[in-house]
Amino acid sequence: AQSVTQLGSHVSVSEGALVLLRCNYSSSVPPYLFWYVQYPNQGLQLLLKYTSAATLVKGINGFEAEFKKSETSFHLTKPSAHMSDAAEYFCAVRPMSGSARQLTFGSGTQLTVLP
Amino acid sequence: ETGVTQSPTHLIKTRGQQVTLRCSSQSGHNTVSWYQQALGQGPQFIFQYYREEENGRGNFPPRFSGLQFPNYSSELNVNALELDDSALYLCASSSGPSTGISEKLFFGSGTQLSVL
């Protein structure tokens, strides 16, 4: 079974600082990988997804993530944090041959941006 | 705004009762999936419906059941509620091939269920 581990349930950064949210996956073959963001009282919004086309994936709101097969990682980064980035972030995985909707999510990382 | 609406937004039930949660998909979407998000956890896949038939299920007991209607709206039913069923329930709609990676999920804001 596939799984994802998000290191750090809470991350705090200062406004303007680098954001780094960690995600490692467990799978016998490279899966599809996703990052979602959840703002308070809202559903999940897709930030970006890895589909094997390119290892460096650019998403919305200035976020990007790099797929590293040797490290089984898919960390999310943003060069300069903004106050509006404060939210919960989820890494998710699904097998390349599975259903498009059967995602397995990590437990999430709450990002706080300090003024 | 994703176009996916869920009702009610909040619900309080007691143990042993039954509950029905509703989801209205985005226009043109023929697939809906349901997720349970317990406090402090990531969403867990419950099941999905494609053109009114269940075509995928996660590790949830049979007391979790669903329906999808011809207009592609959907219901999640939970019987014999337990305290651990307290969670945010999210539905997501989509369209296109069932295995298409280009397909995008649109999530609703969820129904917060509290079981006392």
pLDDT in tens, chain A (115 residues): 788 999 999 999 999 999 999 999 998 777 889 999 999 878 899 999 988 778 899 999 999 999 998 999 999 999 999 999 999 999 999 877 766 568 899 999 999 999 9
Exposed, middle or buried, B97 (CB in 10 Å: 0-12/13-18/19+)?
Answer: exposed
Please give the residue that has the higher pLDDT: either B37 or B56: B37
Task: Find the CB nearest B109 among A41, A102, A104.
Answer: A41
pLDDT at position A27: 80
CA distance B68 to chain A (A): 16
pLDDT at B66: 96
Q: Which pLDDT score is estimated for A17? A: 97
Strands (E), chain B: 5-7, 10-13, 19-24, 31-37, 44-50, 53-57, 64-68, 74-78, 87-94, 106-107, 111-115
Say if residues A62 and A78 touch (Cβ distance below 8 Å).
yes
Query: In this complex, do A101 and B92 lie within 8 Å of one another by their Cβ atoms?
Result: yes
| Residue B105 exposed, middle or buried by CB count within 10 Å (0-12, 13-18, 19+) | buried
pLDDT category of residue B98 using cuts at 50, 70 and 90: low
For an interface test with A, the pick among B2, B25, B98, B105 (most A C-beta atoms closer than 10 Å) comes out as: B105
pLDDT at B95 over 90: no
Q: Where are the beta strands (DSSP E) in chain A?
A: 3-5, 10-14, 19-21, 24-26, 32-38, 44-50, 56-58, 64-68, 73-78, 87-94, 104-105, 109-114
> In chain B, what are the helix, strand and coil shares in percent, each to the nearest 5?
5, 50, 50
pLDDT of residue B20 exceeding 90: yes
Residue B45 has pLDDT above 90, yes or no: yes
The reported pLDDT for the residue numbered B6 is 96
Q: Cα–Cα distance between B3 and A106 in angstroms, integer? A: 25
Q: Which residues of B touch A (CB under 8 A)?
A: 2, 4, 31, 33, 40-45, 48, 55-56, 58, 90, 92, 94, 96-101, 103-105, 107-110
Q: Choose between B101 and A82: higher pLDDT.
A: A82
**pLDDT score for B96:** 58
Do A90 and A74 touch, CB atoms closer than 8 A?
Answer: no
Report which of A71, A26, A23, A16 is spatially closest to residue A49, judged by C-alpha positions: A23
User: Which residue in A37, A41, A44, A45 has the most chain B C-beta atoms within 10 A of its own C-beta, making it the best mutation to test that interface?
Assistant: A44
> How close, in Å, is residue B36 to chain A by CA atoms?
11
C-beta atoms of A100 and B97 within 8 A: yes
Check CB contact under 8 Å for A108 and B99.
no
pLDDT-derived band at B72, boundaries 50, 70, 90: confident
pLDDT for B103: 65
State which residue of chain B sits closest to A94, comparing Cα positions. B101
